[in-house]
Structure 1
Amino acid sequence: MATTQAPHADAHPAPSPLPVYRTDLDGLRGIAITLVACFHIWFGRVSGGVDVFLTLSGFFFIGSLLRHTIASQSTDVGFRETLSPWPRLSRLLRRLLPALLTVLIAVLALTVLVLPQTRWAGIGHEVTASALYYQNWYLALNSQDYLAASSANSPLQHIWSMSMQGQFFLGTLLVALAFAGLLKLCGRVVAPIATPQTIRVFVGLGLLGAAAVSFYWATMRMGVNQQWNYFDTLSRLWEPLAGGLLAVWMPRWRAPRSLRNLATAVALVLIVTCGWWIDGVDAYPGPWALVPVGSTVLIIWSGAAVIGRATGGRHVKTGDTLPPLNRMLASKYPVWLGTIAYALYLWHWPLLIFYLNWRGKNHASFLDGAGLLAVSIALAWLTKRYVEDPLRAGAPSRTAAARAWSVRGHRLSYTAMVTTILVILSVSGAAAIGVWHRHVANLTVDTANLDPREYPGARALLNGAPVPALDPQPTPLEVIRDYPMTSTDGYMSSFEDPAIHVGVYGDPTAARTIALAGGSHAEMWISALDRLGKAQHFRVTTYLKMGCPLSTEELPRMQNGVPYPQCHDWVERVIPQVIADRPDAVFTNSTRPQTGAPGDILPSTYVPVFERFTGAGIPVLGIRDTPWPHSAAGATDTPTCLADGGNAESCGTDRASALNATDPAAALAATNPRFHPLDLSNGLCTPTRCPAIVGNIIVYKDWHHLSATYVRSLTDELGAQIGRALPWTIRGGP
């Protein structure tokens, strides 16, 4: 809560104990939530409104803690009252949890009603992360983009900012209470030195140092991993601390009202427009975030009548304190929006995502968005009126929402009833999430011995095998767990793992060896290579790392654009190790999709790697990459598309948009006779289409990896092509 101070003849007026609510800051919240909702729904951009919320939160919360710290030094306040976090923590929980739990319960229900089963487990994880306030870390660890809304986005992605604020509240509360206790102990043991002014100095210097470290970290990490940086608590910490610094060190000069009005005007223009000329996803929370944060600080400052001994936003009101634009912010409608801002923030995003999924769209039209905004505002008001307000009070209020009923002779207040309902539904939701997680975790994909007459898979395209009318295998829910054996056996190095884990498959005792090396698009072929090795008596050794094809690229990036220097380091170590192990051939990827254009290419950074192997006398089997499923609307998650009612055709991909007419790597064989191109595209696509289901087998297990079951159906064709390149694989042995 923020207040104002009355003028006094003295240059340094004494602060009044009477708090006056800063309704203009409620109005600023209303402007901020309007920007957030509109930019999410219609424009697919980050508005800067969240940064306004963070700054205001820091101003209010740190100001409140500062007042507690100063008051705790009184001899009338004991250690228990000084150090106990529960009074403030309980108020925080009553303010934050009721609306959050209400929305999470609604999200669980809508997930079951609207979304396919393939998405339930992931959203269940996010419900847990949101309820426990670590959603920002969950998103950072899963590298999700906070971009324009589409039907594929998470309905809880926006809770990252609530989680970050919750972490800030808890951490700051514990530090403030420890600091207050330490001051009180020193005052009793040594001497009372903690005057209000010295406390403000110590707190201000601490906040300034922490904010500087956070700002440096946010700026430095932009070029390292901006997707992580966007959600990182340490990177975001400087924003609420900037508001907190103003609560501690309000400037000590009284500015003319005209200057304060100009400051508010400039700040409002910057806040309203910055979403258009700053790409917040790529720029925040780095230096460009100073625009919304600094503008918020200006508006807080401009609304203070006397800028001097104000602390934590506590001022004394005068009859004509606020500048005209601040009075405009304090008018009826901005303030009303500000009072429902928290609930409106919680509701608008999941409603948008569920609507887009229900309608099969990736963008909301103007009318769609207007309807969604109206429903969001209505739900936000209902949530505040009938959930937040009664439970925040901690006791029955005088509102109609708090009247009591008689149940079997016992008086039951509205507050108790709502609390009971929320607890029961939350516990039931948590139990349902646990049951579903166990169900998915216990799913087994037992398709290794499918009858090829019933499930011909690729043979339907390659050999014209008949396809009986049967449900596809694995099911859409099962196929997401249809992993290559190297993943479950632990021979795939993770993104962070620098080690080279060598697995041995096929015939471990064979004299001949094929080395399978590269990233996940090389790994997925192990299901066929293992069968070939066992049948034709050669060994398969694996050298695999997530998202890391064999390339000389010095600054590789992950698929989501995050720099991936670990890949370059790993490739530089794995190539000489493979050469030293002297396999009889290396099997790796030779092409990849062309970025921003149809078709596929042979990257120039792959060729030097091939030459290092062939120069050492080791043949290279270059497997053409498979089509990455997509449509005009964007990338396609095949299992989800099928689970959502799609079929082989509607969830498939146009061949010409994914593949060139010929293998881009084929020409390399003319100049390097030890390079052997392999192309199984005809086992994945018809001349015009790459279906999602072929021969009663689901082709992909996710956005772009083949299911292990489908790879096994390609074994014969892969063996025939390898046999033409390396005749010894057909004969077996030397």
Structure 2
Amino acid sequence: MDSTQTQRRSQYRGHRRDIDGLRGLAIALVVVFHVFVGRVSAGVDVFLLLGGIFFFSPQIRNALNPAGLTVVQSFLRIFRRLYPALITVVTVAVVSALLIFNRVRWPEVGEDAASSLLYVQNLHLANLGQEYSAVNREVSVFQHIWSMSVQMQIYLGSLLVIALVAAMFQRHVRSSSQVLHWLLVIATLASFGYATWLGGHDQGANYYSPFSRFWEIGLGGLFGIWLLGRVLPAAWAQLRLVAGVAGLVLIIGTGLFLDGAAQFPGPWTLVPLAGAMLVVLAGNPVEGDDAESSTSSWVTALLCAAPFQFLGRIAYSLYLWHWPALVLVTYLMSDGADVVEPGGGAGSFFNGITATLGNGEGILVGTVVVVTSVLLAWATYRLIETPLRQRAKPARSMALSPAYVRQSVRGRRGVVGGVSALVMVIATVGVVSFGPVIEHRNEQAAATEADDVDPADYPGPAAFLEDVPVPDDMPVQPDPAVGEEEMLPDTQPDGCFSGFAESNVILTQQFNSTDTPCAYGDVDSDRTMYLAGGSHSEHYLNALETIGEEQGIKIVPILKMGCVLGMNLPHLSGDPYPECAEWNDKAQQYIFDNPPTDGVFMPVTRPTMIEGDGPDMVPFEYIDMVQRLTDAGIHTWGVRDTPWHMAGPGVQGNARLCVAEGVDGDCGIAEEASMAPVNPALEAYQGLDMTPLDLTPALCRDGRCPAVVGNVLVYRDGQHFTSLFSSLLAPEISRQMYDASPALPETPLP
């Protein structure tokens, strides 16, 4: 290669304005799809690829340079570039949420904000996806920070590996470079394989996992090392336009034709990433080019145009601002409704803000959100990002010396960044501590509320069952604003349930890690009753504990979240749930090997659809389970499932939030929408040893199933009882269990 070509190749390894424009296109797709479509676009995936292009090659060269920055310095350089804008947006969003949201949402805002600042939002969201109590949790104001958390985790882990390998081969730079390149190849392929496998087992975890997402950044790194700026053969000049157009089609078409929430980061993610690489290659130099002709493709020229350059410059800040603005404005304009979660509206294409506000108002408000976000992003770029950016590369230093610190905090134009750093520290401490402070306040408030409420003021289910008068102007108990965690049965803090990731039967407290048995009611009794199934069994614990004490029965929970006895359910999202099947086999084996003296208490109906849409019905697997219990001489206490409060088809509502925010109406659901006209268990279990229990009369009246009955909050979310309401159900459940005549017909119902 002659000296002219070598010089030109070096030039193209420098600043690429077309890549800036591609970043601008990516952020435009993210914003438009989030605001108006409510689907996952390819924008974030393009960002991950571009991040890898400009991360690995420079960091490898730096690590192999004896005068290069240390791991700490490299991380601080990245952190300094990203954190000032992040803390600015998060702080403003938290303050705005406090002004707009009811206090019932404050704990969630605090949790999400802290997770965002600590760069663990992806793990936080993945964990929420594994919590059955969070299935109808409203969309987070900071949900979009998951991608930045993934990037930071991957960058930090990669920096450590790169530094370690460079140190091991410090005397053999060429060997070290080859090892690092091969490690990157292997890690990228391994991550791709893992993402492909995990997508078929747990897509929720797959979507947020840094191990699943690594290959997108790794692929960008390999592309940057091997192809970015490389002078391509002269024949490529004729293919630039085709490559550029094909790349744009692949990137833009991804959000239109693929369901990223359900398919990424699996193999289909190669579609937008291939598109992005084609667009970048369309701007590469070719043999015989002069510097100007490298932009001959109109695709490259388009990306170099002012609008895309502007969006590319503010892309990071725009990404930070647009989602909080969308969520908060939608909530404010819709009297408490939430924007549709990206990827959550598979039944219709347009599920963004128009799905909440309607087409006319939605388009208008959405446009205001976009314009406002752009203005805020521009201001953040000019006033926060640019002035605080570290302009000069510091000298290598193993320790953060005073000279290095002074150089680090000195911003552009000679403005000392010490004040800015102090403000960021104060804001960070305030935001991170906000959630725990609110939680502590709620715990104190909950501790002052006695479960033994005056039945004259809080008759609860007796108001429907016995027409007991309900005093007016009494505050609802438990306080719907104190948080769902304070309304859970004791099995939760005791660790007496199997979580989503476990498949073992939990029989002792703290998930079998102690010797204290999971037992309630009359814990010293030789008589036993199993409370078996998932959370719709668990929320009867308070009632059964009272009944167990009265009847002299020990209540033993055999519980797994999101699972039921006798039926291998998928996750609520529809993803496979192999842990449920494993737990089912073990739970049934335990029950049959250790038969209870007083039977098994469990739900015997469920909604028609897995998402919760009604009416209730009886799956044949339920009948088969009761048949096997009957054959084993074990009685079944079969309770009808509760009404599920749905915000829309396939979308669960939240009755507690509705009550806390004072929404007009009873915050309930029409009985016919969730419950069949006649308890379907009456016919389905004929001839089996089962006592049917139906609490619908305690929950519904005159065709409505409200969120508050007798001044008592019925649900802690959309279908699970509060512990207080469960306790107040004990007399009716006991009556149906021991005082009422068997209700199963001997002959088929007409």
Query: How would you bin the TM-score normalised by the shorter chain?
Result: 0.7 to 0.9
Matched AA of 2:117: A
Conservation of the 8 A alpha-carbon contact between 1:83 and 1:181: no
Secondary structure of 2:325's counterpart equals helix
Note closer, same or farther for the CA distance 1:485–1:91 as it changes in structure 2 (3 Å cut).
closer
Structure 1 position 13, deviation (Å) = 6.8
Matching of residue 386 in structure 1 with residue 391 in structure 2: no
Matching of residue 625 in structure 1 with residue 641 in structure 2: yes
Cross-structure match for 1:294 = 274
Note closer, same or farther for the CA distance 1:602–1:423 as it changes in structure 2 (3 Å cut).
same
Cross-structure match for 2:477 = 473
Note closer, same or farther for the CA distance 1:457–1:414 as it changes in structure 2 (3 Å cut).
same
Matching of residue 92 in structure 1 with residue 78 in structure 2: yes
Cross-structure match for 1:213 = 190
Matching of residue 531 in structure 1 with residue 541 in structure 2: no
In the TM superposition, what whole-angstrom CA distance separates every residue of 1:159-179 from its partner, at most 9, and x where no partner exists? 011011111222222222333
Matching of residue 675 in structure 1 with residue 690 in structure 2: yes
Matched AA of 2:625: V
Matching of residue 332 in structure 1 with residue 306 in structure 2: yes
Cross-structure match for 1:313 = none
Structure 1 position 307, deviation (Å) = 7.6
Aligned pairs for 1:643-682 within 5 A:
643-646=660-663, 649-672=665-688, 674-682=689-697
In the TM superposition, what whole-angstrom CA distance separates every residue of 1:670-689 from its partner, at most 9, and x where no partner exists? 332x1221100010111311
Aligned residue pairs total 678
Structure 1 position 331, deviation (Å) = 1.2
The 1-side partners of 2:120 and 2:181 are apart by: 28
Aligned pairs for 1:60-139 within 5 A:
60-69=54-63, 72=65, 77=66, 81-82=67-68, 84-139=70-125
Matched AA of 2:497: M
The 2-side partners of 1:18 and 1:243 are apart by: 17
Cross-structure match for 2:627 = 611
The 2-side partners of 1:336 and 1:144 are apart by: 40
Structure 1 position 503, deviation (Å) = 3.0
With structure 1 as the length reference, what TM-score do the two structures score?
0.87
Aligned pairs for 1:26-65 within 5 A:
26-65=20-59
In the TM superposition, what whole-angstrom CA distance separates every residue of 1:165-216 from its partner, at most 9, and x where no partner exists? 11122222222233333333x24xxxxxx35xx6654433222111110111
Conservation of the 8 A alpha-carbon contact between 1:638 and 1:703: yes
**Stretch moving more, 464-473 or 200-209:** 200-209
Cross-structure match for 2:488 = 483
Conservation of the 8 A alpha-carbon contact between 2:121 and 2:146: yes
The 2-side partners of 1:307 and 1:352 are apart by: 47
Structure 1 position 88, deviation (Å) = 2.7
Secondary structure of 2:574's counterpart equals coil
Q: What root-mean-square deviation, in Å, do the aligned CA atoms of Structure 1 and Structure 2 show? A: 2.7
Structure 1 position 632, deviation (Å) = 4.1
Cross-structure match for 1:279 = 259
Matched AA of 1:706: F
Cross-structure match for 2:292 = 319
Residue of structure 1 aligned with 2:499, choices 494, 514, 534: 494
The 1-side partners of 2:310 and 2:620 are apart by: 59
Conservation of the 8 A alpha-carbon contact between 2:244 and 2:282: yes
Structure 1 position 29, deviation (Å) = 0.6
Residue of structure 1 aligned with 2:212, choices 202, 221, 235: 235
Matching of residue 594 in structure 1 with residue 608 in structure 2: yes
In the TM superposition, what whole-angstrom CA distance separates every residue of 1:128-147 from its partner, at most 9, and x where no partner exists? 211111111111122189xx
Cross-structure match for 2:437 = 435
Cross-structure match for 2:709 = 694
Structure 1 position 152, deviation (Å) = 2.1
Residue of structure 1 aligned with 2:572, choices 531, 548, 559: 559
Matched AA of 2:20: D
Residue of structure 2 aligned with 1:464, choices 467, 471, 496: 467
Cross-structure match for 2:157 = 171
Q: Percent identity at matched positions?
A: 35
Conservation of the 8 A alpha-carbon contact between 1:631 and 1:653: no
In the TM superposition, what whole-angstrom CA distance separates every residue of 1:521-559 from its partner, at most 9, and x where no partner exists? 111112111212222333333222222211243xx2122
Conservation of the 8 A alpha-carbon contact between 2:126 and 2:204: yes
Note closer, same or farther for the CA distance 1:347–1:499 as it changes in structure 2 (3 Å cut).
same
Secondary structure of 2:224's counterpart equals helix
Note closer, same or farther for the CA distance 1:65–1:581 as it changes in structure 2 (3 Å cut).
closer
Residue of structure 2 aligned with 1:425, choices 427, 431, 446: 427
The 2-side partners of 1:677 and 1:439 are apart by: 41
The 1-side partners of 2:11 and 2:17 are apart by: 18
Residue of structure 1 aligned with 2:238, choices 258, 278, 281: 258
Structure 1 position 19, deviation (Å) = 6.1
Matched AA of 2:246: V
The 2-side partners of 1:438 and 1:317 are apart by: 66
Structure 1 position 10, deviation (Å) = 7.7
Structure 1 position 33, deviation (Å) = 0.3
Matched AA of 2:477: Q
Matched AA of 1:500: I
The 2-side partners of 1:270 and 1:336 are apart by: 23
Conservation of the 8 A alpha-carbon contact between 1:447 and 1:474: no
In the TM superposition, what whole-angstrom CA distance separates every residue of 1:57-88 from its partner, at most 9, and x where no partner exists? 11111121243245x1xxxx4xxx34612443
Structure 1 position 356, deviation (Å) = 1.8
Matching of residue 303 in structure 1 with residue 306 in structure 2: no
The 2-side partners of 1:245 and 1:118 are apart by: 47
The 1-side partners of 2:291 and 2:542 are apart by: 77
The 2-side partners of 1:273 and 1:431 are apart by: 42
Matching of residue 518 in structure 1 with residue 536 in structure 2: no
Conservation of the 8 A alpha-carbon contact between 2:386 and 2:412: no
**Stretch moving more, 84-93 or 326-335:** 84-93
Secondary structure of 2:681's counterpart equals coil
Secondary structure of 1:542's counterpart equals strand
Structure 1 position 348, deviation (Å) = 0.5
The 1-side partners of 2:671 and 2:121 are apart by: 38
Note closer, same or farther for the CA distance 1:430–1:321 as it changes in structure 2 (3 Å cut).
same
In the TM superposition, what whole-angstrom CA distance separates every residue of 1:379-401 from its partner, at most 9, and x where no partner exists? 0000001111000146999xxx9
Conservation of the 8 A alpha-carbon contact between 1:274 and 1:292: yes
Structure 1 position 346, deviation (Å) = 0.5
Structure 1 position 494, deviation (Å) = 2.1
The 2-side partners of 1:158 and 1:317 are apart by: 42
Conservation of the 8 A alpha-carbon contact between 2:388 and 2:412: no
Note closer, same or farther for the CA distance 1:704–1:552 as it changes in structure 2 (3 Å cut).
closer
What residue ranges of structure 2 are gaps of 5+ in the alignment? Answer: 340-351, 354-361, 393-405, 508-516, 743-750
Structure 1 position 465, deviation (Å) = 0.3
Matching of residue 450 in structure 1 with residue 463 in structure 2: no
Matching of residue 359 in structure 1 with residue 333 in structure 2: yes
Conservation of the 8 A alpha-carbon contact between 1:621 and 1:678: yes
Secondary structure of 1:667's counterpart equals helix
**Stretch moving more, 432-441 or 219-228:** 432-441
**Stretch moving more, 264-273 or 111-120:** 111-120
Secondary structure of 2:166's counterpart equals helix
**Stretch moving more, 350-359 or 214-223:** 350-359
Matched AA of 2:428: S
The 2-side partners of 1:522 and 1:726 are apart by: 23
In the TM superposition, what whole-angstrom CA distance separates every residue of 1:11-52 from its partner, at most 9, and x where no partner exists? 877854796421110100111000000001111111111111
The 1-side partners of 2:738 and 2:35 are apart by: 55
**Stretch moving more, 372-381 or 102-111:** 102-111
